[in-house]
């Protein structure tokens, strides 16, 4: 069994094809998926999916790329997370690639999510792009990691260096690889994946974006996470079953609020 630890199946292009999406998951032995929230206006649809389907989980959070959107408070996140179908806080983090200018609001929003994670004891889903130093610094300042009383979480769609991966793992964080790791050009990321122990690894699609090989360029969906696992198995010289089992075990260990269905 494979688990897609990060997808956006509430986005209209995927939500419109839900029976097909769920069928492809079953066909490819993708047993569970985590539908990740990106802003508060969309949150009801994310939660509705998790309430409708026992094998779909949900998170609550506001993505760093969403500038003109209601800003969440710690209290609001804590309140929205108080639901058995919500297993994580995020996605949150920093993105200096997509947006420019004074991004202090991004850093404040990130701190808000870490505080909510510490209060709810629900793990963080962290997005970081072109901002790894500030991301790690704020994680440390706010005590996101298990080393400082936090509950840690996952560095999702990881594309950073081994040094950044090690800093996150030292705080108890898992490293999640998406379809990017299967791309021919991703030599550096493949070298990082070689070094990240299977015990600290998750897999994801981040669908509808970033379809893995051999579907690159097409619309991505949770069923394709099997290709990420296959690639990592080949890279590490282990069986696909081993990657599937370990990353699924990791998922339930990290997201301890997720009841297996």
Task: Give the binding site for Zn ion (CB under 5 A).
Answer: 127, 206
Q: How far is the CB of 157 from Zn ion (least distance, A)?
A: 5
Q: How far is the CB of 148 from Zn ion (least distance, A)?
A: 24
Nearer to Zn ion, 115 or 127 (CB): 127
Measuring CA to CA, how many Å separate 64 from each of 12, 40, 110, 242?
20, 13, 8, 34
Q: Please, what is the minimum distance in Å from the beta carbon of residue 38 to Zn ion?
A: 7
Cβ proximity to Zn ion, 160 vs 206, nearer residue = 206
| Residues in a beta bridge with 72 | none
Smallest separation, CB 153 to Zn ion (Å): 13
Which one-letter DSSP state was computed for residue 12? H
Contact 91, 125 (CB under 8 A): yes
Residue 94 or 229: which CB sits closer to Zn ion?
A: 94
> Looking at beta carbons only, is 78 or 155 nearer to Zn ion?
155
Terminal CA-CA length for the chain: 13
Which residue's beta carbon is nearest to the bound Zn ion? 127
- Give me the least distance between CB of 145 and Zn ion, in Å please: 19
Which CB atom, from 98 or from 234, has the smaller least distance to Zn ion?
A: 98
Between CA 60 and CA 64 the distance in angstroms is: 13
Place of tokens 């990130």: 110
CA distance readout (Å), 33 to 9, 47, 50, 154, 176: 9, 13, 10, 15, 14
Would you tell me how many other CB atoms lie within 10 Å of the CB of residue 149?
9
Own/partner contacts of 13-22, CB < 8 Å, gap of 24 or more, are: 13/208, 13/219, 14/207, 14/208, 14/219, 14/221, 15/45, 15/49, 21/221, 21/222, 21/223, 22/53
Minimum CB–partner distance for residue 129 and Zn ion (Å): 8
In angstroms, give the least distance from the CB of 123 to Zn ion. 15
Pick between residue 109 and residue 127 the one whose CB is nearest to Zn ion.
127
Nearer to Zn ion among residue 129 and residue 227 (C-beta): 129
């Amino acid at each position: 069994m494979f688990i897609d630890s990060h997808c956006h199946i509430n986005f209209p292009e995927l939500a419109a094809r839900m029976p097909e999406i769920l069928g492809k998951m079953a066909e490819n032995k993708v047993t569970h998926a985590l539908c990740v929230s990106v802003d508060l206006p969309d949150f009801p649809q994310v939660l509705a999916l998790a309430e409708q389907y026992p094998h779909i989980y949900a998170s609550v959070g506001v993505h760093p790329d969403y500038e003109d959107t209601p800003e969440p408070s710690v209290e609001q996140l804590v309140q929205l997370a108080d639901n058995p179908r919500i297993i994580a806080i995020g996605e949150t983090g920093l993105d200096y690639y997509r947006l420019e200018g004074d991004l202090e609001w991004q850093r404040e929003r990130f701190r808000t999510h870490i505080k909510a994670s510490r209060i709810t004891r629900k793990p963080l889903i962290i997005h970081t792009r072109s901002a790894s130093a500030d991301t790690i610094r704020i994680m440390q300042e706010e005590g996101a990691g298990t080393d400082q009383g936090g509950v840690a979480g996952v560095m999702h769609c990881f594309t950073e260096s081994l040094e950044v991966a090690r800093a996150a793992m030292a705080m108890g964080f898992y490293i999640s690889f998406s379809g990017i790791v299967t791309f021919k050009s991703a030599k550096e990321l493949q070298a990082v994946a070689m070094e990240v122990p299977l015990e600290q690894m998750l897999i994801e699609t981040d669908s509808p974006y970033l379809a893995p090989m051999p579907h690159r360029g097409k619309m991505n969906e949770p069923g394709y996470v099997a290709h990420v696992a296959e690639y990592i198995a080949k890279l590490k010289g282990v069986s696909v079953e081993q990657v599937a089992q370990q990353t699924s075990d990791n998922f339930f260990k990290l997201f301890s609020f997720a009841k297996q269905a």
